[in-house]
Each structure stands twice: as C-alpha cells, then as structure tokens.
Chains A and B, each alone.
Chain A
Amino acid sequence: MKTAISVSGLHKSFGRTHALDGLDLEVEAGEVHGFLGPNGAGKSTTIRVLLGLLRADSGAVQMLGKDPWHDAVDLHRHIAYVPGDVTLWRNLSGGEVIDLYGRLRGGLDTARRAELLERFELDPTKKGRTYSKGNRQKVALVAAFASEVELLILDEPTSGLDPLMEEVFRECVTEERDRGRTVLLSSHILSEVEALCRRVSIIRKGRRVESGSLAELRHLTRTSVTAELAGEPRGLSALPGVHDVDIQDRRVKLQVDTDKLDAVLRQLTEAGVRSLLSTPPTLEELFLRHYQDDVTRTEAEAITR
C-alpha cells in the first residue's frame, strides 16, 4: 500500500522547549488515521511541520511523496486542513471564506458545497465573529470536504460541534474514506476515533509511544477481572502482569495485562469459580495508560512488582 505521510526521527525545538523529540509517523494512503496524545504532546506542532509552516530541525518528512517544506505550494493543492480553532476575517462571510479556500486549493465541488451547507445547517451569509465556535468549525469543515483534495488533515476538527453535527462529521469522513481519500485525524474524542479510524498513533512528549490497529493496542492493555470463588484465593498478586488486586473474603477484583490472562484464570479455577466477569479494556483505559506521564507510570510499575 502507498504511504501518504511518512515521518521519521522528526525533531523540532522552540528555544529551550523540545516540542518534537524524534517523532515517527506513518499514514497509509486511503486510511483514516487517528493521531492521539495528551495536550502539549506535539500533535499540532507535527501538523504544522506537515503543512510546511514550521521547518523541521532534523528528520525526514514526506507527504504524498513530497517534501512539505520545499514543495509546499504544489503539495497544498492536494491537501485540505481544518485547524482546531478556526479564526475568520471579521468582514468576510462564511460563504466567501469557503469559496476562497476552495479556489486556493485544487478547486471546489459546488454541488457538494451546497449539499454540505445543507447537512451542516450552516448559514453562509453570516460574517466573522457573528459565528459561534461550532459554526466557525463548520465553515472550515465545509471548505475541506467540498475541496478536490487527496489528503485531509483535521486537527481536533469537531471541537464545538453539537452531537448531531458530530454525526454529520463522521458520515462525511466515512464518505471521504470510501472515495479513497486519506485522513489524518487528531482528536480527543475517543468514540470518534474508535468509530472512524482503523489505525492510530499515540504520541507523548514529542515521541510516538504506540502505533497500530485498535485491536492490536487493546491487546497490549489490561483486562479487568471480577470473580467469586469457592475457596480462598491464593498467590494472585505474585503472578506476572497482575495489578490492583483487591480481595475481600472470597471476592476478587484485579487488573491483568491481557496477554497474561491465562495464568490468572488457571489460578482462579484452582480455587473454584462461582461467578466470573471479565471486561476488556475500554478505549479510555487504553489511552489513560498511554497518556499518564512517566513518573506515575514507573511508580505504578514499581509498586506492582
């Protein structure tokens, strides 16, 4: 499969702040790729480098096979970008901004523009600051989805959208994917990521800490197990990969690394299982684990060992 975005060993500093510290990222053509990370992890900085707005200190960056810094203009013909905080010109109407952006990209599909205005329930005659936050986002979204481009870069694009519009947004992204376009979606809304993205990359402190399909990532995290036993539970805390063991009489609650589940089950059946509830990790847990900073994480690991 073709690669739409390929970043390796990307570094970028602002004065003393090391915003990107050897970041890697691969996005395949035609996929919707989730780009996740806690606030300040470097997501927006990465996107600005991808757009050729910031110059990388070092590292290799390729977008649609081109260098975003040197070939910015040619490249941007095939790209639509939606920032997380859309600022409009106070004396320009939303419709004018949509058309302007379309003209400055590969062109605008006017039929799709009209359809999107309808679907997003956006009044194109209002001006600049008279739009609410959500409506400003819609201006940028309509401009992006109506543009004839190959790659969409969306930086927390749904901030301020109501749930109905969030739904329209998801439909639009799915349509883009079905038309073979590539989407890089930076988002904090995990249900959105789960619904739209096949693969995700999680970054923290300017580095990628995890990348893969959601199924793969799930596998790397913990399953929570609640069991009622016939006899006294023994030796559970000593098992590898077991955390947060809470034993009250014959009731056991614990967390276990999903790939270490076998040993726990064996131990439990030895005591005799009366009831068993096993819950796979939620996305929230998955991300919380990756979002936690080093200190709490190493502390947590030290305690469980």
Chain B
Amino acid sequence: MTAVADARVSPRARGSARDLAGTGTLLRLALRRDRIMMPVWVLCLGLTASSTVGRLKSTYETPEQRADLVHDMNGNGSTRALFGAAFDDSLGALTVWRVGAFLTVFAAIMSLLIVLRHTREEEETGRQEALSAGMVGRRAGLTAALLTVGIANGAVTLLIAGGLASQGGTGALALGLAVGLSGMAFGGLAAVAAQLTENTRLARGLSSAAVGVAFVLRMAGDAAEDGSKGSGHVLVWLSPLGWAEYARPYADERWWPLLLIAVLAGASITLAYSLAGRRDVGASFYASRPGPAAAGPLLTGVYGLGWRLQRGALLGWAAGFVFSGAIFGSISDGADDFLGDSDQTREIIQRMGGAQGLSDAFLAAMVGVLGTILTVHTVSSVLRLRSEETDQRAEPLLSNAVSRLRWAGSHLVIAYLGPVAVLAVGGLALGLGYGIAAGDVADQLPRALGATLSQLPALWVVTSLTLLLVGVLPKYSAAAWGLVGWVVAVGWMGPALKFSQPVMDTSPFSHLPKLPGDEVTAAPFLWLLLLSVVAAAGGLVGLRRRDIGG
C-alpha cells in the first residue's frame, strides 16, 4: 500500500520533500554550534521585560508618579526617539515603553546573525559543500537556519509572554509576539541577503543596514510626533519596528500591525526560498567579477591592503550617518512641538531660551546615539586584525618584510581615523538638516560638526580597549562586543532609566559634555585620550610579543 501511495505523489511534491532531506540533522548541528550563543541571547531578551517590571514598580510606586513620568517622557522628543511613545501609564505599558524598542532591535540583530551564520557563512567557508555532498537537500540548509532562528524567537516570545503575564496576559502576548515576529522578519530579510551575495560580511552589512534604517525611521517618526496622542507619524509606519511599537501592548492592543510584520516575515522567507532553489551551492545572484591582472598603485603595501579590505564597511557607515544625521537634523526643529497649542507656555519657555535649549537637547541626545553606535564599526574594524589572523591570512603576510606594528597599523588607521570621517559627514548632515529647517545653516553647521566630533575621544577608548584585548588576550577578542553592548545600553537607556552615577561612569561616553549646548572643558577629553593611548600602547606591545595565530 505504501509503495502505491508513494508512486502517486506528484514529482514536484517528491522533489520538494527531497529538497528538505537532512534538515533534522542540520538543525541539530546548528543548535549544537549555537549552544552557548543562542541561550545567552534568548535569556537576555526574554528576561529583560520581567526584570524591568519590578524595578519600575519600586521606582514609581503610585499611579500619579507613573502618569507624570508618561507625560514627561512623551513630551520629550529625544526620549520619544529612543524609546518610542508611552501609550499608557500602567506598569505593563511602562515596561513595554521602556524595553520594547530595544527588544525588537536586538531580536532583529540576533536573528540576522543566526541566519547568516548558518547559511552564507557555511557556504563561503565551503562547509556547506561538504554537507551538501551528504544526504542533504537543496533547501535543507536554509530550512535548518530558519528553524533555528524560529526556535530562538519562539523561546523569546514565550519567555516575554510568560514573564509579563502577571501584568495581564494579552499585553504580555502582544509584546512577546511583537519581539518574536520582528526577529523573524529581519531573519527572513537576512535569508534574502544571504542569497544575494557570496560575501558573508556584505550580507551581514546589508541586513544590519536594514535594521538600522528601520530603527532610524522609527526614531525620527516618534521624535517628530507624539504617537500616544495620534496614529503615529508616517515615518514610523515605514518601519517594521514601528509596526511592532504600534501594536500597543497593554494599551488597547492592536493586532493588525503584528500581522503586517508576520506578512513581511513570510514574504521575505518565501523570496529567500525561491532564490535559494534557483542558484548553485556557494554561488549568488551577484557573481564576483574578474579583477585586475596586476596590482594598481594603491595596493603598494599593507596600508593599501587595509584600505581595500575595510573601505566598503567605512563607506557604508558614512552613508548611514549621512542618512541618520539628515533625518535627525531636519526633525529636531520641531522638538518643541509638545508644548502644544498653549501660547502662554511657549512664550515662557522661549523667554527662558528653552526653545533653543530643547532643540539642542534633542540634537545632543542624537549625537550621543550616533557616537555610541559607531563603536560597532570601530570594534569590528579592530577585530579585523584578529579575523585576518585566525583565517590564516596574517601569517603569509607577516612572512614578508612587514612588521607586526605596520600590519596592525594598516587596520588601526581605519579603526581610529575612519570614525573621524564618519562623524564628520554625519555632523555635516545633521547641521545641514537642522540648519535648513531652522533657517540658520551658518551657525548650526559648525555646532553640529563640533558636537559629533566631540564623541571621538570616548569612541577611541573603546577602540583601544578592543586593541588591548586583541594584543593581550586574543582568544577573548570577541568580548569587545560586550563592551559595545554595555556602552550602547548605558548611553541610550541609562539617562531615562536613571542608572546610578557610578554605573553611568563606566561608559567613556558619559564623561563627554552634552553637545551642542553644554559647557566644554578640556579635562574629560584629555583623560579619555590618555586612557585611549595607554590601552592602545598596551595592546600593541602585547601584539608584538605574542605568538601569531595563538
């Protein structure tokens, strides 16, 4: 009977069944490889919400206090930009306001990392080829990667929904789904990116850029308009992260924005599947073209090589900063909108110089956001040294007449000077955007430029600490990402969450004046520069003395 039944299955269906052969084994392999990374991500994302409830409860005990908080926070453009609108003053809604925006972004980042790790990276390293030679179907790799990311996001959803259930099950479920579905949507987009390019680095860059654009659009839309009083700015609705926010957990949940995210996830996964079925293992839709037969004048040595290897990422970051700077700048003129229609209040504030002050406060917050997020670039730029080493490209390079310091310098020049360029173009875009909106380019441009460039000493501290790790504790170089996470968490959430001063002080960025607007003194800059120089020197000494490849 079975044989007869089998024979009736259409060739197409049988084909797709074979396409998935080996998925189970690949899934177990993926889970085994991610046995540390995935639980860490899932627990961090899943437990943040429930642990926040307790802290909020003790900080804002009465409904009046919470209502005040909501009023203050919705009234401030920069906190709206960072956290989104606060839709209600219940404990549950406040928790969502406080952690929701970050959970969706980090779920997206976790998902794109997991998907690319098990798709394009497997192909680029040639491991997929060896696996595909076994009883593994054409689409098994992609399916296993998506199942892995599905398990991760499913676990996050359940942990969030379970952890917040005490505040009401519906809202808990809405937040859990908003986070988990956002993860799946960006995981799906990463799966598409994995089909488009042969280069894992580029695929990671493209999918991270998608998260970045979605985040900036959401920030800009929320900054421009207080969503708790209306249906949200149009920019918010251009961003999947905005859809997650406007599902409004604990504030008359709306389910259809979640459906939008699910549709995006489904559509991107479908697209990835159809692309994956049409291409060769290891290949992509943009095949690599032949290069020059001889090296050009730029590639005269390791510095030319370093530039070749890192210019793509640098240009990507510069483009991202121009985009973000222009958007933040052009909306910041409206930062005093919340004062509403009361002419009286507006007059009082303006008399106090507050209108200027409010825009400056918003600009300063955005400058801090840009400065801290740029640590991602500078850290990955330094870590390129380590990956060149572990990928065994440093070894033959260093067997030439290249000193270790020179080799390190070829990447470090980008790690240290790249941010100068990126912050400069970001500052110019910010200043132009704001200057044009406020009709005062001549004054605002240099102020914005100075403000973004003021981030450099703090940024360099992170750069140098990463270099210290690479030089002295190379096996633990990846710990630099923990540093990035910490600096971003303190910089973005610390002020609104009222982190204690000693905690805030652990981030080098907390020591910078809030520019534009704040008073500038030389001392913090000098201390940060000194720390940066000392750490860099330690790292370079370590790099000179240690074994390569160790």
Contact = CB atoms under 8 A, between A and B. Distances in A.
B294 A99 contact: yes
B16 interface: no
Contacts of B548: 48, 53-54
B399 A76 contact: yes
A73 B403 contact: yes
Interface of A: 14, 48, 51-55, 72-74, 76-77, 79-83, 85-93, 95-96, 98-101, 103-106, 124-130, 140, 153
Contacts of A140: 396
A104 B397 contact: yes
Contacts of B391: 87
23 contacts: A14-B550, A48-B547, A48-B548, A53-B395, A53-B548, A53-B549, A76-B398, A80-B399, A83-B396, A87-B392, A89-B308, A91-B312, A92-B299, A92-B308, A93-B291, A95-B291, A95-B295, A105-B401, A125-B292, A126-B290, A128-B288, A129-B124, A153-B399
B402 interface: yes
B547 A95 contact: no
Interface in B285-324: 288-296, 299-302, 304-305, 308-309, 312
B402 A104 contact: yes
A87 B387 CA distance: 12
B393 interface: yes
B182 interface: no
Interface in B108-125: 124
Nearest to B126: A129
A172 B402 CA distance: 26
- Most A CB atoms within 10 A — which of B309, B399, B403? B399
A133 to B, nearest CB: 10
Given A95-B292, A103-B300, A127-B291, A87 B393 contact: yes
B402 A99 contact: no
B199 interface: yes
Nearest to B199: A90
Given A92-B291, A92-B308, A101-B400, 13 more contacts: A48-B547, A55-B547, A72-B398, A74-B401, A79-B399, A81-B400, A83-B396, A88-B393, A91-B312, A92-B299, A93-B290, A95-B294, A104-B400
B32 interface: no
A52 B403 CA distance: 10
Interface string B366-402: 0000000000000000000000000111011111111
A80 to B, nearest CB: 8
Contact of B399 (A53, A89, A95, A128): A53
Contact of A124 (B199, B294, B393, B550): B294
Given A83-B395, A104-B402, A140-B396, A126 B199 contact: no
**Interface pairs A-B: 7 shortest CB-CB:** A93-B291, A99-B295, A104-B400, A81-B399, A125-B290, A95-B293, A53-B548
A72 B393 CA distance: 17
Nearest to B292: A93
B333 interface: no
A114 to B, nearest CB: 10
B292 A73 contact: no
Contacts of A87: 391-393
A105 B400 contact: yes
B381 to A, nearest CB: 16
B198 interface: yes
- Most A CB atoms within 10 A — which of B199, B294, B299? B294
Contact of B547 (A54, A76, A99): A54
A104 B302 CA distance: 8
Given A93-B292, A126-B291, A100 B305 contact: yes
A82 B291 CA distance: 23
A96 B299 CA distance: 8
Contact of A85 (B199, B292, B392, B401): B392
Contact of B402 (A76, A82, A106): A76
Given A87-B391, A92-B308, A100-B299, A51 B398 contact: yes
Nearest to A147: B400
Contacts of A103: 295, 299-301
Nearest to B125: A129
A92 to B, nearest CB: 7
B288 A77 contact: no
Contacts of A88: 393
Contacts of A83: 392, 395-396
Nearest to A110: B294
B545 interface: yes
Nearest to A81: B399
Given A14-B550, A87-B393, A100 B295 contact: yes
Contacts of A52: 398
Interface string B262-289: 0000000000000000000000000011
A54 B301 CA distance: 23
Contacts of B124: 90, 129
Nearest to A74: B401
Contacts of A90: 124, 198-199, 288
A100 B393 CA distance: 13
A194 B291 CA distance: 39
Contacts of B199: 90-91
Contacts of A126: 290-291
A92 B309 CA distance: 9
A65 to B, nearest CB: 17
Contacts of B546: 55
Nearest to B404: A72
Contacts of A51: 395, 398-399
A127 B290 contact: yes
- Most A CB atoms within 10 A — which of B293, B305, B396? B396
A55 B546 CA distance: 7
A16 to B, nearest CB: 14
A91 B294 CA distance: 14
A67 to B, nearest CB: 14
Contacts of B549: 48, 53-54
Contacts of A125: 290-293
A89 B393 contact: yes
Nearest to A88: B393
A149 B301 CA distance: 18
A53 B544 CA distance: 10
B45 to A, nearest CB: 32
Nearest to A47: B399
A86 B396 contact: yes
Nearest to A78: B401
A64 B305 CA distance: 29
B95 to A, nearest CB: 45
A141 B255 CA distance: 63
B173 to A, nearest CB: 44
B401 A77 contact: yes
